[in-house]
Amino acid sequence: MTAETTERSFICQRCGTCCRWPGHVLLTDGDISRMAAATGLSEEDFIEQYTVLASNRRQLSLTEYEDGRCVFLTDEGCAFYDARPEQCRNFPHTWRVAEGCPALEAMDKSTLKR
């Protein structure tokens, strides 16, 4: 099986389950630029309003609600899906897979990258 096939094996159903899991969404400079543009904010304003210093003290992460839910999760899913962070784009291939994702439950988990 090729990496290309593996990448296509997971089809996100945009249910928002992974957006409710606790943990940090670490941001790259590209993520900040993309998300700032999508929100209509300057990068500085985006950083001030929507990020915190990650526990590793080397990177910024998205703020989240007290229950762990992403601040950009709406009833319709991710408010900025097309501009979402790389960490979110790479789900589930670079994540520690958790229960509850209907797309993962619907596929053969052996096709996921380790």
pLDDT tens digits, 38-77 = 999 999 999 999 999 988 888 999 999 988 889 999 998 8
pLDDT tens digits, 13-43 = 778 778 887 778 999 999 999 999 999 999 9
Rounded CA separation 70/62 (Å): 8
Q: What is the 3-state secondary structure (H, E, C) of 60-99?
A: EEECECCCCCECCEECCEECCHHHCCHHHHCCCCCCCCCC
49: number of Cβ within 10 Å: 12
